[in-house]
Amino acid sequence: MKKPYSFSKDQMNGIVEDTYANIIKECENLKRDTNCPNEQVVALLSVIASNFAIPTEKNKNKND
C-alpha cells in the first residue's frame, strides 16, 4: 500500500505557506476589482481544483 504524500515541515513553512498566502491575496484582489461575491470566488476555485482532481471512471468516460 502506498503511503499518502505529505509536504515536509520545510515545505509547509515555505512554498506551501507562500502559495496559500498568494492564492488568498489574489482572491481578495479579484473580489475588490470585480465586486464579485464570495460564491463566485468559490466557483472559480472549484474549477481550478477540478484541473488537479484525480479523474473518476465516470469523468474519464465523459472525456473519451
User: 61 lies in a domain?
Assistant: yes
User: 14 lies in a domain?
Assistant: no
User: 5 lies in a domain?
Assistant: no
Domain holding 34, by residue range, is 26-64
CA distances from 61 to 38, 55, 56, 58 (A): 32, 10, 9, 5
User: 8 lies in a domain?
Assistant: no
What confidence tens digit (pLDDT) does each residue in 12-61 have? 999 999 999 999 999 999 999 999 999 999 999 999 999 999 887 665 55
Query: Residue 1 pLDDT > 80, yes or no?
Result: no
User: 57 lies in a domain?
Assistant: yes
Query: What's the structural domain count of the chain?
Result: 1
Query: What was the pLDDT predicted at 49?
Result: 95
Cell of 28: 481578495
Query: What was the pLDDT predicted at 2?
Result: 79
What confidence tens digit (pLDDT) does each residue in 40-54 have? 999 999 999 999 998
Query: What was the pLDDT predicted at 63?
Result: 56
Q: DSSP string spanning 5-54?
A: P---HHHIIIIIHHHHHHHHHHHHHHHHHH---HHHHHHHHHHHHHTTSP
User: 6 lies in a domain?
Assistant: no
User: 4 lies in a domain?
Assistant: no
